[in-house]
């Protein structure tokens, strides 16, 4: 199992603090959602977690080791990363693309073995893309591509997973499939962090939400504690109804806030 510890983390890009003074611990066993309006700093935060962006002040630690001191291959073995909006340039088959998830575990010039093949097969089954295995990944629809890229992340077999907007391009049924998969990964003891825009999905499936606004962590806790009408008004600038339907939480945006 892995965990992140953030200590007064600040990230400055192009002369502006995109993340400001965030502290806390992100632990396994709970599905952690990062939410906030466009430009709130969500993707910047996860890139800093992975050591892809250096803090201007403060620190990020992976299992108490400074992320900046860890080899990239060790980080890749510990935390699989699914970025948002990836473009595929090479016409690899789906099976070969998913197999790239095993690269952090392979020595240079080595080939996947039987154990790797079993993990690749399981990842494709869990994301329901086995029937696409021989298709060139560049010919897939947006939703198919999103599921294949999630399969590649799962094929890493890491104890942690960070998924940035994994529901983009997916129809409602596959959105539910992905959120249930992420929730199951977390319930099995993995560290699972996901960036989401769909607040109902965040409320329904996440155990903990981090709400960002202009780079600041304004709320951290259980979904219905974080997603209050007053907070949605102040952060998103919307009037919204927060309640339950068929025993499940719902967040319904009604209108822009009227001033």
pLDDT category of residue 259 using cuts at 50, 70 and 90: low
107 alpha-carbon distance from chain centroid? 27
On whether the CB atoms of residues 238 and 223 are closer than 8 A, the answer is no
Q: What is the pLDDT of residue 84?
A: 86
Over residues 245-254, mean pLDDT: 91
On whether the CB atoms of residues 238 and 251 are closer than 8 A, the answer is no
pLDDT at 143 over 90: no
Its domain, for residue 36, covers 4-256
Over residues 104-118, mean pLDDT: 85
CA dist., res. 156 & res. 166, Å (int): 16
Looking at the structure of the chain, the number of domains it has is: 1
pLDDT at 112 over 90: no
Q: What is the CATH number of the domain that holds 131?
A: 3.40.50.300
Q: What is the pLDDT of residue 111?
A: 81
26 alpha-carbon distance from chain centroid? 13
CA dist., res. 210 & res. 156, Å (int): 26
Which H or E element spans position 95? helix 94-99
pLDDT at 27 over 90: yes
The two three-digit tokens of residue 3, written as one number: 């965990």
Which of 72-86, 99-113, 127-141 comes out lowest in average pLDDT? 99-113
Over residues 132-145, mean pLDDT: 91
Edge-to-edge strand ranges of the sheet holding 79-82: 79-82, 160-164, 191-195, 31-35, 208-213, 216-221
Q: Per residue, what are the HEC states of 41-83?
A: CHHHHHHHHCCCCCCCEEEEEECCEEHHHCCHHHHHHHEEEEC
pLDDT digits over 5-23, tens only? 999 999 999 999 999 999 9
Q: What is the pLDDT of residue 215?
A: 95
pLDDT digits over 184-219, tens only? 999 999 999 999 999 999 999 999 999 999 999 999
pLDDT category of residue 85 using cuts at 50, 70 and 90: confident
């Amino acid at each position: 199992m892995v965990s992140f510890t953030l200590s007064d983390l600040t990230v400055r890009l192009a002369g502006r603090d995109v993340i400001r003074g965030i502290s806390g611990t992100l632990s396994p066993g709970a599905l952690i959602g990062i939410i906030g309006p466009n430009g709130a700093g969500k993707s910047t935060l996860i890139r800093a977690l992975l050591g892809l962006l250096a803090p201007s002040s403060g620190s990020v630690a992976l299992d108490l080791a400074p992320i900046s001191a860890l080899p990239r291959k060790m980080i890749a073995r510990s935390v699989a990363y699914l970025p948002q909006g990836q473009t595929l340039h090479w016409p690899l088959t789906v099976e070969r693309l998913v197999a790239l998830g095993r690269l952090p575990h392979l020595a240079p010039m080595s080939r996947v073995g039987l154990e790797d093949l079993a993990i690749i097969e399981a990842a494709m089954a869990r994301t329901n893309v086995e029937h696409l295995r021989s298709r060139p990944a560049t010919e897939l629809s947006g939703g198919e591509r999103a599921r294949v890229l999630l399969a590649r992340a799962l094929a890493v077999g890491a104890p942690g997973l960070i998924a940035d907007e994994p529901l983009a391009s997916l129809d409602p049924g596959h959105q539910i499939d992905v959120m249930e998969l992420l929730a199951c990964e977390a319930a099995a003891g993995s560290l699972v962090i996901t960036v989401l825009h769909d607040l109902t999905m965040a409320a329904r499936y996440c155990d903990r939400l981090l709400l960002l606004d202009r780079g600041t962590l304004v709320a951290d806790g259980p979904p219905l504690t974080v997603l209050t009408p007053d907070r949605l008004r102040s952060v998103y600038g919307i009037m919204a109804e927060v309640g339950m339907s068929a025993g499940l939480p719902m967040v319904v945006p009604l209108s822009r806030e009227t001033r």
